[in-house]
Amino acid sequence: MAEETGIFQLLKAIAGKAALFPAALDAARRSINLIVGAQLSADAADLASVRKIAALLGPAAFAEAVDGLPSAKVKALVARIDPLGPAPAAAPERIRHLLALAEGKAQPATAKAKPPSKGKTPASVRPGEAAPADGKSEAAPRRRRITGRAALRASDER
């Protein structure tokens, strides 16, 4: 055939004279879904490119292409473009979430701000003990708990 860029030129030429190819309508639809599916499955697919593809195809054609993707590919794509968002368990819910992201009806989740700490007591202060007034705590040597055979030997020695 032709070079890589020439292939898309051929597709454009065929699309310009679609009346010459009435028997190939179903094959063209499958080809479009394969092309879109391959691009969406690629590691380079991000939210911006997904939205551009959805805008180019229109909602119905994009939904048809996404519906033809395997469930694992849809799951991976949703996880890649919305890593902090909800992870729907069912495939139809994932597809709806992907379509909402692509159409701009939903935005990817952002990291939640960490709430400020409420002045926790140092870890070396045990319950019932007071923390040092100066705020600096000197870690008391921890007593090692003896279990198993070592406990038996220690009890025999006492």
Give me the pLDDT at residue 62, please. 92
Residues in the chain: 158
104 Rama sector, left if φ>0, alpha if ψ -120 to 50, beta otherwise: left
Give me the pLDDT at residue 19, please. 92
Give me the pLDDT at residue 86, please. 79
Kindly report the pTM of this predicted structure: 0.62
Give me the pLDDT at residue 129, please. 57
Number of Cβ atoms within 10 Å of the Cβ of 22? 7
At residue 32, the 3 state secondary structure works out as helix
User: What is the distance between the alpha carbons of residues 73 and 66, in angstroms, rounded to a whole number?
Assistant: 10
Give me the pLDDT at residue 137, please. 57
User: What is the distance between the alpha carbons of residues 93 and 72, in angstroms, rounded to a whole number?
Assistant: 13
User: What is the distance between the alpha carbons of residues 27 and 72, in angstroms, rounded to a whole number?
Assistant: 24
Q: What is the pLDDT along the chain (158 residues), one digit of tens a residue?
A: 446 668 889 989 998 999 999 999 999 999 999 999 999 988 888 999 999 999 999 999 999 999 889 989 999 999 899 888 877 788 889 899 999 999 988 888 876 655 666 655 555 555 555 555 555 556 666 776 767 666 666 656 66
User: What is the distance between the alpha carbons of residues 137 and 139, in angstroms, rounded to a whole number?
Assistant: 6
User: What is the distance between the alpha carbons of residues 110 and 47, in angstroms, rounded to a whole number?
Assistant: 14
